């Protein structure tokens, strides 16, 4: 199996995985994020499919993260009900693993690409997968932060110039 086939397989599995996560959850923000990720994986699959078929690639744009930013703002302003006791944390960690594997594979694909169009597509999708990885890292931090962080003015971090 060549790297394009591997990439297509990963993207298809990622889409199915994220849709299953979205269907298993009740939190609207989490459903939105996993549905958005599934849609992105589907789009990546289609790009790799075009590469495999030798067809021309449209000038692919990086994905719009505004909707995801809005979800984070909504979670910040309202209590989303996510905490360390929610089994969702395992979903997020699993999604993070998927994104990390994708990044590694696509970086390798960019290094070994047969032509410049394929290399450019691998680099574009690598950048998007890194953004997805960052989203998962941020969600995980938000979910587990209450376990280790005391938000209190007395104990809060202060920059050195604060005390001068």
Give the start-to-end residue ranges of the domains of the chain: 3-148
Number of helices (H), then strands (E), in the chain: 5, 0
Residue range 103-120: mean pLDDT, rounded? 87
| Mean pLDDT score, 97-116 | 88
Q: What is the pLDDT of residue 164?
A: 47
Place of tokens 């994708």: 102
CA dihedral 7, 13, 18, 23 (to 10 degrees): 160
User: Which has more confidence, 37 or 80?
Assistant: 37
> Which range among 17-21, 22-26, 75-79, 106-110 shows the weakest confidence by mean pLDDT?
75-79
**Which residues are CB-contacts of 110 (< 8 A; sequence separation ≥ 6)?**
119, 122, 123, 126
For residue 76, the model assigns a pLDDT of 47
Q: What is the mean pLDDT of residues 8-16?
A: 90
How far is Cα 30 from Cα 43, in angstroms, rounded to an integer? 20
Average the pLDDT over 27-43 and give the result.
88
Superfamily of domain 3-148: Ferritin, core subunit, four-helix bundle (1.20.1260.10)
pLDDT score of 33 = 86
Higher pLDDT, 41 or 85: 41
Q: Over range 49-77, report the average pLDDT.
A: 59
More confident residue, 148 or 133: 133
pLDDT score of 5: 87
């Amino acid at each position: 199996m060549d790297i394009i086939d591997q990439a297509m397989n990963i993207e298809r599995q990622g889409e199915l995985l994220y849709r299953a996560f979205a269907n298993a959850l009740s939190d609207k923000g989490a459903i939105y994020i996993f549905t958005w990720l599934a849609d992105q994986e589907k789009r990546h699959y289609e790009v790799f499919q075009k590469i495999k078929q030798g067809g021309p690639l449209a000038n692919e744009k990086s994905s719009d993260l505004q909707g995801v930013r809005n979800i984070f703002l909504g979670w910040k302003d309202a209590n989303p009900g996510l905490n360390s006791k929610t089994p969702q944390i395992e979903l997020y960690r699993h999604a993070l693993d998927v994104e990390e594997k994708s990044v590694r594979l696509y970086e390798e694909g960019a290094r070994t690409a047969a032509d410049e169009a394929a290399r450019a597509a691998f680099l574009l999708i690598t950048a998007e997968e890194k953004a997805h990885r960052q989203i998962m890292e941020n969600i995980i931090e938000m979910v587990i932060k209450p376990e280790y962080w005391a938000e209190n003015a007395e104990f809060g971090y202060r920059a050195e110039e604060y005390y001068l």
